[in-house]
Amino acid sequence: MGYEYIKAFHLIAVISWMVGLLYLPRLYVYHAETDIGSVRAETFKVMERRLLRAIMNPAMILTFGFGIWLIVLNPSLLSEGWMHVKIFCVLLMSACHGKFAKMRRLLENNEKPLTSKMYRIWNEVPTGLMVIIVIMAVVRPI
């Protein structure tokens, strides 16, 4: 398979992953504002679980898989400063994904450890990381 096709599939996976990373904490905002045990709260639990398991987890795995494949095909990328920053931010994005998974488990168990305002703040973290990652990959300033 050609390098450009692998890059295209990598980008498709990244977009899918980002959709989830941007939407899941928004669901948490609404979930935190509902009454425990309500029909609405139970609906949010289903939506959150399906988003994480059916879209976000596979998309993250594919993102890493295609990204590693691109590096294997072009190992000189690892000598570039912008790639170091990008990889670091992707690792932070993965940590964010893990944090969101933990938040989902807590909400699934009817625990609301954060306010809707705090979930709104968490909603912005993937956006900031995405901006840095895209600038590194496209502009390559370092």
CA distance 28 to 22: 11
Mean pLDDT score of the chain, rounded to an integer?
96
Question: For residue range 42-55, what is the model confidence (pLDDT) as tens digits?
Answer: 999 999 999 999 99
Residue 113's pLDDT band, with cuts at 50, 70 and 90, is confident
Question: For residue range 42-91, what is the model confidence (pLDDT) as tens digits?
Answer: 999 999 999 999 999 999 999 999 999 999 999 999 999 999 999 999 99
For residue 99, the enclosing domain spans 3-138
pTM (two decimals): 0.92
3-state SS track over 13-41: HHHHHHHHHHHHHHHHHHHHCCCCCCHHH
Measured on CA atoms in the order 132, 115, 110, 46, is the torsion positive or negative? negative
Q: Percent helix, strand, coil in the chain (nearest 5)? A: 85, 0, 15
CA distance 46 to 2: 39
Number of domains in the chain: 1
